[in-house]
A = this chain, B = another copy of it.
Amino acid sequence: MAELLIVGLGPGNAACMTGEALAALEKAEVICGYTGYLDQIAALIPGKETFFTPMKQELERCRHALMLAQSGRTAALVCSGDAGVYGMASPVLELLPDYEGVEVEIVAGVTAALSGAALLGAPLGHDFCVISLSDLLTPWEIIEKRLQSAAEGDFAIVLYNPSSRKRSGYLQRACDILLRTRSAETPCGVARNIGRPGQEKQLLTLGRLRDTETDMFTTVFIGSGTTRQIGGRLVTPRGYSV
């Protein structure tokens, strides 16, 4: 059978992977992914053939994994966090009609919204939105519109890709949009290198977040109208009468 497994690795260490994800790596004969994740799983796949490519070669990686599967080998394509959230599951499924006979299975993982939330407290205890600030593949007007709508709906908000070397100032622009309707005192949090060496967290206000430096290893959490800071943690109540 021609099989491709798309595997979410979780936030950054083997203990955060599911049993299903570990079993998928074991089953696969060849493992594909982004070079940045190879170290994370090298110890789990001793002796396996690998095909790792740098950033911005996502489609090439997907096509190669599909081609390997079509040639009759069981392939795995690994993603950080969850394979479905800004991951490789969606481009692979878009390409799949060109690769007859390939069966795709997607193995979910813990995305940074969940692992970062656990590190900071419980900011996602009620309704929330996940928005990427990267405009590499999305026009900035759409990102801006979504930030505006998320603010109007009083959602807790998780921001992926808050900035990079080429996109400094994006988090500031996002905060400015949210500050139109949300108080500068809104509790926020920042999680960095989740589950990896150098893991960091910080609680701060939306006003302070605006002037905070972030990078591509940072996930940002912005509280809703009910989010509070309790005992050094960020908490969005579910609504129980505590």
> A19 to B11, alpha carbons, bound, how many Å?
12
CA distance A11 to B18 in the complex (A): 11
Tell me the minimal C-beta distance from A199 to chain B in angstroms.
Answer: 13
Chain A positions 215 through 242: 1 when the CB is less than 8 Å from some CB of chain B, otherwise 0: 0000000000000001101011111111
CA A142 to CA B236, docked complex, whole Å: 15
How many residues on A have C-beta within 8 angstroms of the other chain's C-beta atoms?
A: 75
CB contact list, A85-107 vs B, under 8 A: 85-87, 89-97, 106-107
Q: Chain B: which residue is nearest A97 at the CB level?
A: B231
Contacts of A130 in B (CB 8 A): 124, 127-129
Is A125 part of the binding interface, using a Cβ–Cβ cutoff of 8 Å?
yes
**Residues of chain A in range 140-160 having any CB-CB distance to chain B below 8 Å:** 142, 145-146, 148-150, 152-155
Count identical subunits in the complex. Answer: 2
Q: How far is the CB of A177 from chain B (nearest CB, A)?
A: 12
B19 with A17: CB separation less than 8 A: yes
Pick the contact of A93 from B18, B95, B114, B235 — CB < 8 Å? B235
In the complex, are the beta carbons of A138 and B122 less than 8 A apart?
Answer: no
A114's contact among B84, B91, B146, by CB below 8 Å, is which? B84
Q: Given A94-B235, A124-B84, A130-B128, does the pair A107, B118 have CB atoms closer than 8 Å? A: yes
Write out, one digit per residue, whether chain A residues 118-142 have a CB within 8 A of any chain B CB (1) or not (0): 1101111111111110000110001
Q: A19-B15, A110-B110 are in contact. Are A90 and B146 (CB under 8 A)?
A: no
Q: B residues within 8 A CB of A107?
A: 118
Cα-based distance from A153 to B145 in the complex (angstroms): 6
Q: Take A84-B117, A153-B150 as given contacts and tell me if A90 and B238 are in contact as well, using a CB distance cutoff of 8 Å.
A: yes
